[in-house]
Amino acid sequence: MKKLLCLFLLFYGIANVYAQKPAAINTLPKYKLLRSDSTWVTQANLKKGKPVMIIYFAPDCSHCQRLTYEMQEEFKKETKLNLKPLAHVQIVMATWAELRAIKVFYNDFGLVKYPNITVGTEGNTYTLLRFYNVSTTPYIAIYSKTGQLVKAFAKVPKFEEIMAVLNKV
């Protein structure tokens, strides 16, 4: 009888743990980011009817730097071939890092050349970090033109995988 009771309590506990998972990330989250030019930006600044890619990153993360480099290469390729899969997406790069680190990252990668990329810090509010339950960077969430989640990458994907999703939105 004790074993049956213990088994019941175990299943009850597991059910409660899963019932308390954070809300689904199916729609765009609210955020407030401080950009490198010391202005604030929120999700309200996004243009309606355009897909959004949110990248939660760390300026000193080698995977994040590699992703940014690959995006730059894709922009160059799209310009040469007159394509727009990446250029039509609003890219929000968010981090918890200090503004100083954001400025260095922004300048080193020359992101001023890409008007569809917004880079900012949420500071110690950790709103997006908690919303996505980020454990490694970069964390990538791609949303459709209507603001619905299409795909999230909790681990570093191949750039081709990201582009395959962006070509469909």
pLDDT bin (cut points 50, 70, 90) of residue 24 is low
DSSP 55-73: EE--TT-HHHHHHHHHHHH
DSSP-assigned letter for residue 96: S
pLDDT at 14 over 50: no
The one-letter amino acid at 70: E
Reported confidence tier of residue 15, pLDDT bands at 50, 70, 90: very low
Mean pLDDT of 88-97: 97
pLDDT tens per residue across span 96-147: 999 999 999 999 999 999 999 999 999 999 999 999 999 999 999 999 999 9
Of residues 6 and 67, which shows the higher confidence score? 67
Q: What pLDDT does 100 receive? A: 95
| Coarse DSSP helix, strand, coil percentages of the chain, rounded to the nearest 5 percent | 40, 20, 35
Q: Is a pLDDT exceeding 80 seen at residue 159?
A: yes
Confidence of residue 83 (pLDDT cuts 50, 70, 90): confident
- Average pLDDT of the chain is 87
How far apart CA 162 and CA 120 sit, in angstroms, is: 21
Q: What is the residue whose two structure tokens read 């213990």?
A: 6
CA angle centred on 30, ends 33 and 145, rounded to 5° = 105
For 50, phi and psi rounded to 5 degrees? -125, 140
Helices (H), 24-153: 62-81, 99-108, 127-132
Phi/psi of residue 107, nearest 5 degrees: -75, -45
Give the Cβ contact number of residue 146 at 10 Å: 11
Taking residues 43-62, what's their average pLDDT?
96
DSSP conformation letters of 20-68: TPPPP--BPPP-EEEETTS-EEEGGGSPTTS-EEEEE--TT-HHHHHHH
**pLDDT value at residue 8:** 41
How big is the chain, counted in residues?
Answer: 169
Residue scoring higher pLDDT (1 or 99):
99
Contact assessment for residue 121 and residue 36, using Cβ atoms and an 8 Å cutoff: no
Domains of the chain plus CATH, in order, are 32-167 (3.40.30.10)
Any idea which of 35-39, 83-87, 111-115 has the lowest mean pLDDT? Answer: 83-87
